[in-house]
Amino acid sequence: MFVQLGDRNKDVAEVQKLLSLLGYDLIIDGDFGAKTKRSVRAFQKRFNLTVDGIVGSNTYTALKAAQKKTSKESSDILDSVDYGGLEINTDYELHPVQYIKQVTNKTQIYIHFTAGRQSAKNTISYWGADEPKIATAFVLDGDTGIPYQAFHPDYWSWHLGAKGTNGRLDKASIGIEICAFGGLKKKNDKYYAWPTNWTTEVNSEKVYHLDEEFRGFKHFYSYTDLQIENLENLLCFLIEKYDIKVQESFDLDWFSYNPELFKKTLPGIWTHTNVRKDKSDSYPDHRLIELLNKLAKKYN
């Protein structure tokens, strides 16, 4: 092991993971930047190592040894989840190295969209080929709407990218990705998604139109009715399993950036746009608001 400032590879991601599990505020992205270097130097100083910000054999060995003393990551895999009558595909789960095997208390659920193609299987496969532990516990397939379990929801991964939280929100939440292209660009009365540099044409019947622009887009790839239906079933299961406190009501303000989440880790159902100003998942779909208000009425 030898990584330093400027490196980008799987070894950097491993170092970032080990540091984050010790309490250092890092996103596991495999990019050895200035913040990673500062964290390495702080660790080296704390453990009486040469403070140079470089991870060589001595620093890496110390990082691994420190995990045994302080990490709560489990070497065991939890038993499978009993979903009752809920249809969940568990055939394509991530390898355990691709998420954090720590059982954490869940008080939040975050809804995302993939901004990619329609296959939940391919989405999980893509995550599995990438070193950073960035994934959600569930992915809703675009064709069938069926949720795929990427990993046991008791565990966690870096699905929010919310800086300054040291993973606090990631640990407290369960992420759900909906397979959808996301924001679309309109050219000559046709709609295009971002893959292949905005040349992927989308059928106009699958476009959700907004009255006002949201996060730079006025048109989004519409969630399917099957995805909405299965999202409701999955949310009900998770709310009841983890005793998630649901907000009393939902409106368009629910999609806005909410700094209170950083201060208080507010319980409830949220979306990626609440903690990231640069994200557009999820967009203001009236069906989503109707679904959430249905849950609010059911669980309050």
Q: Report the DSSP pairing between strands 173-178 and 108-113.
A: parallel
Q: What is the pLDDT of residues 36-78, one digit of tens each?
A: 998 899 889 888 999 999 999 999 999 988 876 444 555 566 7
Q: pLDDT above 70 covers what percent of the chain?
A: 96
* Domains assigned to the chain: 10-70 (1.10.101.10), 96-180+223-299 (3.40.80.10), 183-221 (no CATH)
Give the confidence band of 19 by pLDDT, cuts at 50, 70, 90: confident
**Residue 176: strand pairing partners:** 111, 138
Q: Give the predicted TM-score (pTM) of the model.
A: 0.81
Q: What is the pLDDT of residues 114-145, one digit of tens each?
A: 998 899 999 999 998 876 778 999 999 999 99
Which residues make Cβ contacts (< 8 Å) with residue 240, sequence separation at least 6? none
Q: What is the pLDDT at residue 18?
A: 87
Continuous H helices in the chain: 10-21, 34-46, 57-70, 120-128, 168-171, 195-198, 225-242, 260-264, 286-299
Burial of 70 (0-12, 13-18, 19+ CB in 10 A): exposed
Q: Looking at the chain, how many residues does it have? A: 300
Q: What is the pLDDT at residue 70?
A: 46
Q: What is the pLDDT at residue 72?
A: 55
**Residue 149: strand pairing partners:** 138
Which residues make Cβ contacts (< 8 Å) with residue 92, sequence separation at least 6? 120, 121, 124, 125, 148, 150
Taking each helix axis from N to C end, the angle separating 57-70 and 10-21, rounded to the nearest 10 degrees, works out to 40
What is the sign, positive or negative, of the torsion defined by CA atoms of 275, 279, 285, 287? negative
| Helix, strand, coil share of the chain (percent; to 5) | 35, 20, 45
| Residue 219, pLDDT above cutoff 70 | yes
